[in-house]
């Protein structure tokens, strides 16, 4: 009976995560285009037809419609289903890890969902909106308050997850400054060419959640992933370059990029844009933050043992 109860709780969290993921898709699509995210009915980006409730059931509408608009049969970007599913799975994972600390669990829901929005928006448009950084910072405050109210949480040792990696208030404050301060210095030296303002704010906000040790891990993981993926993208770009005929065709391809606002193709087109020149660092930072929020203590312990400490 207890097992069924837990399964039911996780199922409810999964469904709510899907619904929140649907709203996240609204944010991801509309914010970069300057469209209001609260008012206004959802619509098909291709034909402009207003979508009804049966078209907006998270994940299942995409599956039942075969990934196409019900009205014009234009392809729907798989991003919509991916965001909903990823957010639902992320919420279930955070629920499993922090179920004994409800306030911390909810804070991590906000934290993870905000990071997912940042990943998809920054990858496509190279933008990080302040609303997500504010939400992340507030989630850090919520976790700190929860830890303070629970004291040292020593009575929870019977659970296989201790209270969030035992990050103190001082750790969080240092975490808010250590990586963001480094990024600020780089931005000043490079006059904003090497690092963006959004990355500085993101690392400051996330430091309040993760603390300085985990933020150093974030910097390492993000730099490693960014370097590897950038080299792969450059290799792919070099292989594709000889296939293009003349510089005019390249220019035409660039000029076509404003079509990103239309239909299911918009995300695939956006993804290619950074590969040729600038690579957004935000998605790597956000991805590393999610990893460290789950496995930060284990990764740090492994690294210290590797160094002989």
Q: What is the pLDDT at residue 241? A: 67
pLDDT tens for residues 80-94? 999 999 999 999 999
Residue 258: pLDDT over 50: no
Which one is predicted more confidently, 28 or 46?
28
Residue 34 has pLDDT above 80, yes or no: yes
Q: How many CB atoms lie within 10 A of CB 147?
A: 21
Residue 274 has pLDDT above 70, yes or no: no
pLDDT over threshold 60, residue 255: no
Q: What is the DSSP letter of 56?
A: -
Choose the most confident range, by mean pLDDT, from 5-9, 115-119, 269-273: 115-119
What pLDDT digit, counting tens, does each position of 165-218 carry? Answer: 578 899 999 999 999 999 999 999 998 888 989 999 999 999 999 999 999 999
Residue 162 scores a pLDDT above 70? no
- 224 phi, psi to nearest 5 deg: -65, -50
Short-list 170, 166, 165, 111, CA closest to 137: 111
In a 3-state reduction of DSSP, which class is residue 41? Answer: coil
- Please give the structure tokens belonging to residue 288: 């590393």
Phi/psi of residue 308, nearest 5 degrees: 90, 15
59-63, 78-82, 139-143, range with the lowest pLDDT: 59-63
Say if CB 65 and CB 75 are below 8 A apart. Answer: no
**What is the pTM for the complete model shown?**
0.82
56 pLDDT more than 90: no
Range among 72-76, 150-154, 292-296 rated most confident: 292-296
**Average pLDDT over all residues of the chain:** 83
pLDDT per residue as tens digits for the range 279-295? 789 999 999 999 999 99
Contact between residue 87 and residue 15 where contact means Cβ atoms under 8 Å apart: no
Given pLDDT bands bounded at 50, 70 and 90, which one contains residue 222?
very high
Question: In the beta sheet, which residues pair with residue 145?
Answer: none
pLDDT of 192 reads 82
């Amino acid at each position: 009976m207890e097992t069924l109860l837990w399964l039911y709780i996780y199922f409810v969290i999964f469904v709510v995560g899907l619904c929140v993921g649907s709203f996240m898709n609204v944010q991801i699509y509309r914010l970069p285009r300057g469209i209001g995210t609260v008012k206004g009915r959802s619509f098909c980006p291709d034909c402009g037809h207003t979508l009804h409730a049966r078209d907006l059931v998270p994940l299942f509408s995409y599956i039942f419609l075969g990934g196409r608009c019900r009205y014009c049969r234009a392809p729907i970007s798989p991003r919509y289903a991916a965001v909903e599913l990823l957010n639902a799975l992320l919420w279930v994972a955070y629920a499993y890890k922090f179920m004994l600390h409800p306030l911390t669990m909810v804070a991590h829901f906000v934290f993870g969902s905000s990071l997912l929005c940042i990943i998809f928006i920054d990858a496509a448009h190279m933008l990080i909106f302040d609303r997500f950084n504010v939400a992340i910072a507030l989630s850090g405050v919520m976790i700190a308050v929860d830890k303070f109210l629970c004291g040292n949480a020593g009575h929870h040792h019977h659970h296989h997850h201790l209270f969030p990696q035992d990050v103190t208030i001082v750790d969080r404050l240092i975490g808010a400054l250590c990586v963001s301060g480094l990024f600020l210095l780089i931005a000043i030296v490079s006059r904003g060419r090497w690092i963006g303002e959004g990355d500085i704010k993101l690392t400051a906000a996330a430091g309040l959640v993760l603390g300085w040790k985990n933020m150093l891990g974030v910097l390492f993981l993000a730099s490693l992933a960014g370097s590897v993926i950038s080299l792969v993208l450059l290799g792919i770009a070099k292989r594709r370059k000889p296939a293009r005929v003349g510089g005019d065709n390249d220019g035409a391809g660039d000029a076509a990029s404003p079509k990103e606002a239309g239909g299911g193709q918009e995300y695939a087109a956006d993804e290619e844009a950074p590969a040729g020149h600038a690579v957004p660092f935000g998605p790597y930072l956000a991805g590393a933050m999610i990893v460290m929020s789950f496995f930060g203590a284990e990764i740090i312990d492994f690294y210290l043992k590797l160094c002989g400490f």
